[in-house]
Amino acid sequence: MEKVLSLSNIIWRRNGDTILDNISFEVNPGEQWAVLGLNGAGKTSLLDIIMGYNYPTAGSASVIGTEFGRASLPEMRKRIGYVSSSLDKFHETLNRETGLNIILSGKFSSFGIYRDIDEETKKHAEQLLNDLNLNHLADRTYNTFSQGERRRILIGRALMGQPELLILDEPCSGLDIRAREDVLKIVNRIPEEERHLLYVTHHIEELTGAITHVLLIKDGRIVAAGPKGEVLTGSLLSDTYKTPVKVYFENERPWLVIDDVEGNNE
């Protein structure tokens, strides 16, 4: 079966700085990945390579069967869903739209355009609202939604395009603990046979059961990439975060504590 993602020896340089240094990693069908790393480690730069917004200085990339340089990026992007807190800049355009219309707009990969919507498309959007427990937002406008509701409706919108790869870039940033769990419930339901997640976060406790694999990045290089249980170790995370940490699992979710090596808390 074709790889979901395959990056081979990717190098990306800007103004003499090597931002991504020899990145190779693959996502196989059925794997759901999280990406962890400090501020400035290169996570967004990597996502921009995957989306074709940045062109690698060297190396090759193939995303959902599309090899860069050979295919139409707009066509490829239609098969990828992307939700990021940087989409906040679109709030102005979204404010007067209802939840249902925002979900529907996912079909057309643009905000605010509703061409002739057939009955089947509308039913699909309503089903999605129902599956995500967002029915109460169908007829309300975006400006009345809470932060958590906004993130959930934008994830719903991305799912409307039936993406093969859904990239969630810090979807829980700025949310309180309850809103975050609501978003994570949705995230947990996303993986399906033909749908894959790439989940970027600063908080390992967001790596719920849906996530099977983890990529750790430090200073533009891969520290480790592999099954969640093998990668989420104190020593690999201490290296990635340049901070001594320990990991423990509770209800199959990982949590991080600072490893107080000097006993300063005593």
Ligand X SMILES: Nc1ncnc2c1ncn2[C@@H]1O[C@H](COP(=O)(O)OP(=O)(O)OP(=O)(O)O)[C@@H](O)[C@H]1O
Strands 213-218 and 33-36: parallel
Q: Which two tokens stand for residue 162?
A: 């039936």
- The least distance separating ligand X from the CB of residue 54, rounded to whole angstroms, comes to 8
- Which of 15, 251 has the CB closer to ligand X? 15
Spell 24-41 as b/e; 16+ CB within 10 A means b: ebebeeebbbbbbbeeeb
- The least distance separating ligand X from the CB of residue 40, rounded to whole angstroms, comes to 4
Question: Rule CB under 6 A: which residues touch ligand X?
Answer: 14-15, 19, 37, 39-45
**Do 97 and 112 contact (CB within 8 A), yes or no?**
yes
- Which of 52, 156 has the CB closer to ligand X? 52
Q: Which two tokens stand for residue 195?
A: 């749908």
- Which of 79, 202 has the CB closer to ligand X? 202
- The least distance separating ligand X from the CB of residue 37, rounded to whole angstroms, comes to 5
Coil, strand or helix at 17: strand
- The least distance separating ligand X from the CB of residue 17, rounded to whole angstroms, comes to 6
**Do 86 and 170 contact (CB within 8 A), yes or no?**
no
- Which of 46, 102 has the CB closer to ligand X? 46
- Which of 149, 170 has the CB closer to ligand X? 170
Q: What is the DSSP string of 221-261?
A: EEEEEEEHHHH--HHHHHHHHTS-EEEEEETTEEEEEE--T
Q: Which residue has the tokens 């406008």?
A: 141
- The least distance separating ligand X from the CB of residue 1, rounded to whole angstroms, comes to 30
- Which of 43, 150 has the CB closer to ligand X? 43
Quote the CA–CA distance of 240 and 107 in Å, as a whole number: 38
- The least distance separating ligand X from the CB of residue 97, rounded to whole angstroms, comes to 28
